[in-house]
Amino acid sequence: MADTLQHHDHAEGQDDDTRSAATWKPVSVWPLTIGILAVLQLVPLIVLEVLLQKSRSTPLEFDTSDSSSYAAWQYPAMAFFLVDGLLWEAVFARICQLEPFYQLSLPDGASLENSLSMGYTNTITFWVPVTSAMAHHWTVFLASVGYISTFTLAPLCTRLSWTLDWPRTYSNATVTVLPNEPWCRALEALCVISAICGFGLAVMQRRRSGLFSEISSVEDLSRLLCDSPEFLALVKNIPSHADSKAVGEALQHCRFRLLYKTNRLQLVAFQNPPMAATQRTIVIQNRSLDAHPFSLFPAVILTAEVMVVGVYLPIALLPRFPPENFDPDTLRLLFTALLLINTAFWSGIQSSLSAILPYAHLTATRQAKDSRVRNYETQNHIRQKFTPGSTLLQLTAGSTPCLTALCGSLNLQLMILLINPLWDSTLAIVKKQGLDAPAPGCLLGPALLAQIFSYIVPILSFVAFLNALLYRRVFAPRKPDTLISKMIYLCRGERLLQDVKEGRVSGLCADDGCYSFGWFQGEEGRWFVGVDRGGSVAKEYKKVGEVGPDMEG
């Protein structure tokens, strides 16, 4: 295999100097950027240790009328880990995006499952460290562990690291902060873990990326296909409605590699000749689970929304209907678990939307007749990046599916940032009913805010569910969640590839028609799913599980 690769490299005249220059990286994964992020993880570690040592010698107290002190204990820690987690999310998304191309740039190339069929951004976040470690993709492993530690686990530990002991009599107007040392130590351990992941990732990211420029949008992938005629001919033989298992069977004996030519990349495939001659029967099914991302099923969205309402509903009901002989503090761990589950749910929803939206926006039914509007929409959506969180930015461009991600992410971030102080405020007021002490003044504002959000957030959740219910129709028989699935769809866009090959970038949004994603009928009368100009689209949207006009499931 190695001899074959070397011979092919020599025949193609690969430019080694060009290969060594393939070091493009986005700013978010520069070693310096990740190093600064790693140092940032030490800030809460130092602050928390200082507070623990101080609490052992001097009680941490503040007056019940001191709203600023109350806010200082409740909000900054949550806000820090929320922002820190969003920064780690950007790092994690970019690392997952770059890893396939690094594997393809290795001298011996990479197999399909180790490169083009990676699906980290569409995998449940908590499962990524396991799959990446099994595949020996250590940069993805470190980025995922750092992301989970900061965005998910650290806020949960923060909620349990200290409690506020409110006075129960008029004579006592002092609130005592009671640190919970085991949870504080757990939070410190998470800070250390994320710092180690950051420093390790900064060192590993000194390697080359294997890219000259970014390859993530529809246009970028089309340009790579144009420069890779052998690979393009290979994937054209795979049916556009093939599922991931069928694609894996068709290409299981191939290894893929990036060849570096002057000013361009070429993706090539090498196959073992004895195995290539083996006849294989590829069974292609068409199931609803393949045709639609699982995380976007209305039932899944409804489950996530019910959990959101389950968190906020007690905040609205407890002050009005205080329970007797029941300590509401027992619900704290339950709400913490619901917050953890919600984080996993909405992470998957955002990832799935990020994968399908670039193609959904290319459907002919979404193209406006006015050329100015059409050009604007196409330029924005055809370049859409496949990164978690990017779906939220498209709501301003009229993206209906993004409403689900917007409502879900808004709920999640509000829960992370506000649920601890709002819930504590509600508990403190509930506990004081029947006691000879008024509600502290510093709690009145947060308690009112809790009531407002407890009514607004369920409404947002219901809107997200209705949107998911209406968006049950899908635009393709297979979700484009990996590089190979995206390329199989794009390889049939003859006009798209021709325009990109000839350098007519404006052709992607020319006045003579926009590109569409759907079912097309070729010159020979065969139907295929791909990207092409509008006008001959048979069915832009497909029902779940439906196949092409002349195909059998």
pLDDT tens-digit series, residues 219-246: 788 888 888 888 888 888 787 777 777 8
305 and 461 Cβ atoms separated by less than 8 Å: yes
Task: Give the residue-averaged pLDDT of 121-143.
Answer: 87
3-state secondary structure of 106: coil
In this predicted structure, what is the pLDDT of residue 399? 52
* C-alpha separations of 309 from 306, 333, 412, 430, 453 in Å: 5, 16, 12, 20, 11
Nearest to 467 by CA among 542, 541, 386, 405: 405
In this predicted structure, what is the pLDDT of residue 357? 66
Task: Give the residue-averaged pLDDT of 74-88.
Answer: 84
Q: Which residue has the higher pLDDT, 269 or 440?
A: 269
Nearest to 388 by CA among 111, 16, 121: 121
Q: Which residues contact 499 (CB under 8 A, 6 or more apart)?
A: 507, 508
Q: Which residue has the higher pLDDT, 328 or 333?
A: 333
Question: Which run of H or of E encompasses 302?
Answer: helix 298-317
Enter the tokens of residue 213. Answer: 């420029």
pLDDT digits over 391-406, tens only?
444 444 445 555 655 6
In this predicted structure, what is the pLDDT of residue 198? 95
Task: Give the residue-averaged pLDDT of 279-288.
Answer: 50
299 within domain boundaries: yes
Q: Which of the residue ranges 231-240, 328-337, 340-349, 517-526 has the most confident prediction, judged by mean pLDDT?
A: 231-240
Q: Same domain for 63 and 160?
A: yes
Share of the chain above pLDDT 70, in %: 53
Is the pLDDT assigned to residue 452 strictly greater than 60? yes
Is the pLDDT assigned to residue 427 strictly greater than 50? yes
302 within domain boundaries: yes
Q: Which residue has the higher pLDDT, 236 or 205?
A: 205
Q: Same domain for 331 and 441?
A: yes
537 and 248 Cβ atoms separated by less than 8 Å: no
Separation of alpha carbons 429 and 431, rounded Å: 5
In this predicted structure, what is the pLDDT of residue 33? 93
249 within domain boundaries: no
Answering whether pTM is above 0.85, one says: no
- Residue 139 binned pLDDT confidence (cut-offs 50, 70, 90): very high
Is the pLDDT assigned to residue 175 strictly greater than 70? yes
Q: Which of the residue ranges 23-32, 182-191, 424-433, 534-543 has the most confident prediction, judged by mean pLDDT?
A: 182-191
Q: Which residue has the higher pLDDT, 108 or 533?
A: 108
354 within domain boundaries: yes
Arithmetic mean of pLDDT over the chain: 72
509 within domain boundaries: no
Q: Same domain for 68 and 191?
A: yes
Question: Which run of H or of E encompasses 79?
Answer: helix 76-104
305 within domain boundaries: yes
Q: Same domain for 304 and 408?
A: yes
312 within domain boundaries: yes
The parent domain of residue 186 ranges over 2-212
Task: Give the residue-averaged pLDDT of 20-28.
Answer: 80
Q: Which of 448, 471, 494 represents a domain boundary (last residue)?
A: 471
- Residue 132 binned pLDDT confidence (cut-offs 50, 70, 90): very high
Separation of alpha carbons 507 and 84, rounded Å: 40
Q: Which residue has the higher pLDDT, 420 or 85?
A: 85
Beta-sheet strand order (sheet of 174-179): 60-63, 174-179, 162-165
The size of the chain, in residues, is 553
Number of structural domains, the chain? 2
pLDDT digits over 27-69, tens only?
888 999 999 999 999 999 999 999 898 888 888 888 877 777 8
Is the pLDDT assigned to residue 484 strictly greater than 60? yes
In this predicted structure, what is the pLDDT of residue 191? 94
270 within domain boundaries: no
Separation of alpha carbons 105 and 98, rounded Å: 11
In this predicted structure, what is the pLDDT of residue 274? 46
Share of the chain above pLDDT 90, in %: 11
- Residue 3 binned pLDDT confidence (cut-offs 50, 70, 90): very low
- Residue 411 binned pLDDT confidence (cut-offs 50, 70, 90): low
Q: Which of 178, 212, 246 represents a domain boundary (last residue)?
A: 212
Enter the tokens of residue 30. Answer: 């520069």
Q: Which of 446, 471, 496 represents a domain boundary (last residue)?
A: 471
Alpha helices by DSSP H, 58-75: 67-74
Of 88-97, 376-385, 531-540, the one with minimum mean pLDDT is 376-385
- Residue 373 binned pLDDT confidence (cut-offs 50, 70, 90): very low
Q: Same domain for 204 and 310?
A: no
Task: Give the residue-averaged pLDDT of 466-483.
Answer: 66
Q: Which of the residue ranges 30-44, 54-68, 364-378, 501-515 has the most confident prediction, judged by mean pLDDT?
A: 30-44
- Residue 327 binned pLDDT confidence (cut-offs 50, 70, 90): low
In this predicted structure, what is the pLDDT of residue 319? 64
Q: Same domain for 316 and 462?
A: yes
In this predicted structure, what is the pLDDT of residue 464? 65
Q: Which residue has the higher pLDDT, 367 or 269?
A: 269
Neighbours of 384 (CB within 10 A): 24
Q: Same domain for 38 and 155?
A: yes
- Residue 365 binned pLDDT confidence (cut-offs 50, 70, 90): low
Q: Which residue has the higher pLDDT, 546 or 42?
A: 42
* C-alpha separations of 30 from 33, 121, 140, 390 in Å: 5, 20, 15, 20
Of 219-223, 264-268, 382-386, 515-519, the one with minimum mean pLDDT is 382-386
In this predicted structure, what is the pLDDT of residue 378? 43
398 and 357 Cβ atoms separated by less than 8 Å: no
Alpha helices by DSSP H, 135-283: 138-148, 154-161, 181-204, 218-226, 229-235, 244-250, 273-276
Q: Same domain for 208 and 297?
A: no
Q: Which residue has the higher pLDDT, 534 or 183?
A: 183
Nearest to 422 by CA among 407, 406, 404, 444: 444
